[in-house]
Amino acid sequence: MSMTPQVKHFLENWHTAVRNRDRDLLESIIAEGCELHSPVVWKPSADKHYLLHILMGVISIIEDFDYRKEWVDGNMVILEFTGTVDGKGLLGIDRITIDDEGRMCRIEVLIRPLNTLIEFATRMREHALRYKPEAANS
């Protein structure tokens, strides 16, 4: 199955943004109200500024973050990644849904193994608590 131009464009920008930790580029390819389903939080969030804060945390907390494989099915993309947290290896996937404008409208993150996930979750919770909604609007 061939990739739509929107999905191809999204993936090029996504990989560049993650590699360069480019918050502005990330922001440009995320739809308002994008749903985040994370291994760290119980209920999904649809606050774009919070999502950006979380994504920037993820790519700074996970060392040697690297996407290894990708699968595309229509407007859904699955990206497999590896990395380490505190010397412990992890394997995860981002399941991303892309809207008709080529922006991410849903992301679900799955991570294993449990011991690394716990370490990651602890650090992400600290990062998440540093989020200041008022800073997003300035």
Within a domain: 120? yes
Q: What is the pTM of this model?
A: 0.84
Question: 24: how many CB neighbours lie within 10 A of its CB?
Answer: 8
Counting the structural domains of the chain, the total is 1
Sign of CA dihedral 5, 6, 7, 12: positive
Within a domain: 135? no
The CA-based dihedral angle spanning residues 108, 114, 16, 35, taken in that order and rounded to the nearest 10 degrees: 20
The structure tokens listed for 16 are: 């560049």
Within a domain: 137? no
| 66-80, 83-97, 107-121: the lowest-pLDDT one | 107-121
The residue range of the domain holding 80 is: 5-129
| 16-20, 85-89, 115-119: the lowest-pLDDT one | 115-119
% of residues, the chain, pLDDT over 70: 93
Closest to 69 measured CA to CA, from 50, 95, 43:
95
**CATH code for the domain of 110:** 3.10.450.50
Within a domain: 104? yes
The CA-based dihedral angle spanning residues 107, 100, 47, 56, taken in that order and rounded to the nearest 10 degrees: 50
Whether the Cβ atoms of residue 76 and residue 95 lie closer than 8 Å to each other: yes
Within a domain: 134? no
The average pLDDT across 67-82 equals 95
Within a domain: 16? yes
The CA-based dihedral angle spanning residues 71, 92, 28, 41, taken in that order and rounded to the nearest 10 degrees: 130
